[in-house]
Amino acid sequence: MNKNPEYPKKKFLSAQIDLSKFAPATEEEKRQQDVMSESVTFFKDGMRRLFKNPLAVISIVLLSIVILTIIIAPMIVPYGYEEMLSVNGRRDKGAKNLAPFEYSEAEQKFIEEGGERFPHIFGTDEQCRDYFIRVVYGTRISLVVGIFASLIVLIIGMLIGSISGYFGGKVDLIIMRIVDIIYSLPDMLIIILLSVVLNEAIKFKPGTILADLGSNMISIFIVFGCLYWVSMARLIRGQILSIKENEYILAARSIGAKPGRIIRTHILPNCLSVIIISTALQVPSAIFTESYLSFIGLGVKAPMPSLGSLANAARSGLQSYPHKLIFPAIVICLIVLSLNLLGDGLRDAFDPKLKK
């Protein structure tokens, strides 16, 4: 032990204090006192826990399959979503309401003559269109609507919620009363009214994406933007109110940081997990609303399919062709279920209070 020569060595059995025990610590010894845990960022840590949750992993896999399918399928399947089937350039009138993997007479003849024909995986509908590709496009529309609507909700809700929460006082009071009013409006009624009004008011240039979607879809976006931000704004306001109590916000102010900077660099990153999670949970609810509206005929404009309008169209022939309702219904269930499970998984993974 006696590395330090300045201190006399203690004599064996002497009662004298061993001076070397009182030598100042060397730099190396001092460094051992630094208590350090392994450096992991919050994000990595959360991701690690997310991938340990079996339900979340299953839902990620399911979602990836759905997304890959809707990206790749249109490249492989040689039919269009509004194309009526034809063989050798002639309309195939017999290809109506085929069962999955069934060929019409004309197609069978074509195959016997040596031609190749891509199978109708989900069969066809009563207008002789390939049903699989329609479901794929319907899923695309539904997902895009869900994600877009949630993004609109997120942006508006975040902006208003953070202003209300950060500045507090009168601003907060006024915004929260507006939120209360919007909260009490019947949203379905507003959607229906708006789409009727917008139908008259807006005429899109034919051929553009907006025109393809139709005014119903636009009004869904507008309604989402105008109505559904309130719960997001409330949530973010609550988060900010609690984060604002932390001294690091005061510290940032004492440094001279402006409110915008404080919100951007201190407050929002600290409620990011809540924002991500509630956005993930918003997507299925938007998809649900869209499907519901399309089902009652207020969704996308025909011939553009969406999962809801496909289900609606299948209703008439329900007894003869139940599969036409089952396919879009299953896809809706898969998407909504896996997004909900993923949202739950994210919440568990990123909530520091659940940290093990």
Partner 1 sequence: MLVSKTLLEVKNLKQYFPVKSGFKTIPLKAVDDVSFTINEGETLGLVGESGCGKTTVGRTLLHLYEPTAGEIIFDGEKVTKKNINRMRKKMQMVFQDPYSSLDPRMTVEDIIGEPLDVHKLYSNRKERREKVLELMNYVGLNSEHATRYAHEFSGGQRQRIGIARALAVDPKFIVCDEPVSALDVSIQAQVINMFEDLQAKLGVAYLFIAHDLLVVHHISKRIAVMYLGKIVEIADSDDLNANPLHPYTQSLLSAIPIPDPNITRSRKRIVLEGDVPSPLNMPTGCAFRTRCPYATEQCAKECPTLTDRGNGHMVACFNK
Phi, psi of 26 (to 5 degrees): -75, 170
Q: How far is CA 9 from CA 2, 5, 271, in A?
A: 7, 8, 60
Is residue 28 part of the contact set for partner 1 (CB under 8 A)? no
One of 253, 264, 315, 323 touching partner 1 (CB under 8 A): 253
Is residue 51 part of the contact set for partner 1 (CB under 8 A)? no
Is residue 190 part of the contact set for partner 1 (CB under 8 A)? no
Which runs of consecutive H residues, i.e. helices, occur in 77-205? 105-112, 131-167, 169-183, 187-201
Is residue 259 part of the contact set for partner 1 (CB under 8 A)? no
Is residue 49 part of the contact set for partner 1 (CB under 8 A)? no
Binding segment toward partner 1, per CB under 8 A, in 122-130, 170-178, 241-249, 333-341: 241-249
Minimum distance from CB of 80 to partner 1 (Å)?
48
User: Under 8 Å CB-to-CB from 238, ≥6 apart: which residues?
Assistant: 165
Beta bridge partners of 86: 91
Minimum distance from CB of 280 to partner 1 (Å)?
20
Give 51 or 248: the residue with its C-beta nearer to partner 1.
Answer: 248
| Tally of CB atoms within 10 A around 224 | 26
Taking Cα atoms as reference points, which of 122, 287, 170 lies closest to residue 220?
A: 287
| 8 A C-beta contact, residue 152 and residue 227 | no
One of 32, 39, 184, 319 touching partner 1 (CB under 8 A): 39
Give 77 or 272: the residue with its C-beta nearer to partner 1.
Answer: 272
Which tokens sit at 243? 């984060």
Q: How far is CA 47 from CA 3, 44, 83, 98, 348, in A?
A: 48, 5, 43, 45, 11
Is residue 276 part of the contact set for partner 1 (CB under 8 A)? no
Nearest 5 degrees, angle CA 324-CA 118-CA 327?
A: 20
Is residue 251 part of the contact set for partner 1 (CB under 8 A)? yes
Is residue 3 part of the contact set for partner 1 (CB under 8 A)? no
Minimum distance from CB of 239 to partner 1 (Å)?
14
Is residue 101 part of the contact set for partner 1 (CB under 8 A)? no
Distance CA 290, CA 295 (A): 8
Q: What is the DSSP letter of 75?
A: H
Is residue 260 part of the contact set for partner 1 (CB under 8 A)? no
Is residue 246 part of the contact set for partner 1 (CB under 8 A)? yes
One of 250, 326, 333, 354 touching partner 1 (CB under 8 A): 250
Is residue 269 part of the contact set for partner 1 (CB under 8 A)? yes
- Number of residues in contact with partner 1, rule: CB under 8 A? 25
Taking Cα atoms as reference points, which of 194, 185, 189 lies closest to residue 220?
A: 194
Is residue 266 part of the contact set for partner 1 (CB under 8 A)? yes
Give 96 or 347: the residue with its C-beta nearer to partner 1.
Answer: 347
Which secondary-structure segment (H or E) carries 203? Answer: none
Minimum distance from CB of 249 to partner 1 (Å)?
9
Residue ranges that bind partner 1, judged by CB under 8 A: 31, 34-37, 39, 41-42, 246-248, 250-258, 261, 265-266, 269-270
